[in-house]
Structure 1
């Protein structure tokens, strides 16, 4: 099988990296949406004057409508709960009604079932994309953008007689141990100079 997000070889619908990212996002999502509540306080210039966020006539909203339009707790709860209900329908078809929607409980349930989801659930790629979208939206409000992988270069490991792997190698900020997601070759700090030397044109970040 190949990963539905990156196309790399995988033992299920996601590779290990994207499975770990989905698990982390499910864990973080409830706390991020709780934090965004701090952003719903109206903008002020002092103790009493609210700065209007829209120029239209009429009463001013008691919350920052720009934030409400972008990040909505009810929508996130509905989206995550619908995924829980669908996974539960396939995973446990003989169980009763899905418990009421609660963002924290639903995220925790999906994270606990992640091994089965990645191995057996055909819509895993869509689930991962939608959770990533919710995560990105809420992070844009709280000012904490998600770290992005840094492209390092190409894997130079031999995978056959005269055949070089050539897959792209990347790392998250702060990582020192590199691993090719295609052939699984590992590169430590002592290998950086060798890796850089055999790159066509790129250099190590």
Structure 2
């Protein structure tokens, strides 16, 4: 009896995903942690920015770009990956996964666990098609924000935020967003107008080791 791939519907002799869709799904899982990180630069809508430093308490809350916020929230990337990991482990007769650490860490751990089991998923799991489809759609949702088809809508990544917060480097990704003439950090609110971009670039070199260490701590 022949079967069909649960994602592309190509005919199969056995299993639930064809080799191409199996590989594509594995690659999407490998990219998930980087896509999660990339969304950080899109949390504030274009044209709206915090002032330099932290907002005064009397100010209204900063606006949030809901698409990026939702994808980085509990029901976004981390929720999708952890739900599928939980379902996969349950169907394999394993215990439920232990969930702890930062959201960045949880995304990486869940994506890795699913990637390690991709061959079993493709060959033996009836839910493989639905799983692969949701992972594909999730990446498309992220890509529509961080890497839109129109080049003029794409951000220009400039490095990491070198601002000191309580004597610790911020280290968040900073990028020039479409429609903006100034770069600002979505985490701490530091701002670099065009005349300060050279200083921002120099800070990447001056603080390279500290910035790399900060990124490792966040991963």
| Secondary structure of 1:37's aligned partner | helix
Q: Do the aligned partners of residues 96 and 46 (structure 1) sit closer, same or farther apart at CA in structure 2, a change above 3 Å counting? A: closer
Distance 1:69 1:47 in 2: 16
Gaps (5+ residues) in structure 1?
50-58, 146-205
| Secondary structure of 1:74's aligned partner | coil
Q: Do the aligned partners of residues 45 and 127 (structure 1) sit closer, same or farther apart at CA in structure 2, a change above 3 Å counting? A: closer
Instruction: Point out which structure has higher relative CO (alpha carbons under 8 A, 6+ apart).
Output: 2
User: Which residue pairs with 2:10 in the alignment?
Assistant: 8
Distance 1:21 1:5 in 2: 11
Deviation at 1:19, TM superposition (A): 0.8
TM-score by length of 2: 0.54
May I ask how many residue pairs the two structures share in their alignment? 134
Matched, 1:33 2:32: no
1:2 and 1:14 in contact (8 A); partners too: yes
- Deviations 1:11-50, CA, capped at 9 Å, x for gaps: 421111111110111110111011110111453478849x
Distance 2:32 2:83 in 1: 15
User: Which residue pairs with 1:24 in the alignment?
Assistant: 27
1:70 and 1:137 in contact (8 A); partners too: no
User: Which residue pairs with 2:134 in the alignment?
Assistant: 130
Q: Which has the larger radius of gyration?
A: 1
Q: Which has the higher helix share?
A: 2
Q: Which has the higher mean CA deviation after the structures are superposed, 18-27 or 71-80?
A: 71-80
User: Which residue pairs with 1:188 in the alignment?
Assistant: none
Computed over aligned residues only, the root mean square deviation of the Cα atoms, in angstroms, reads 2.5
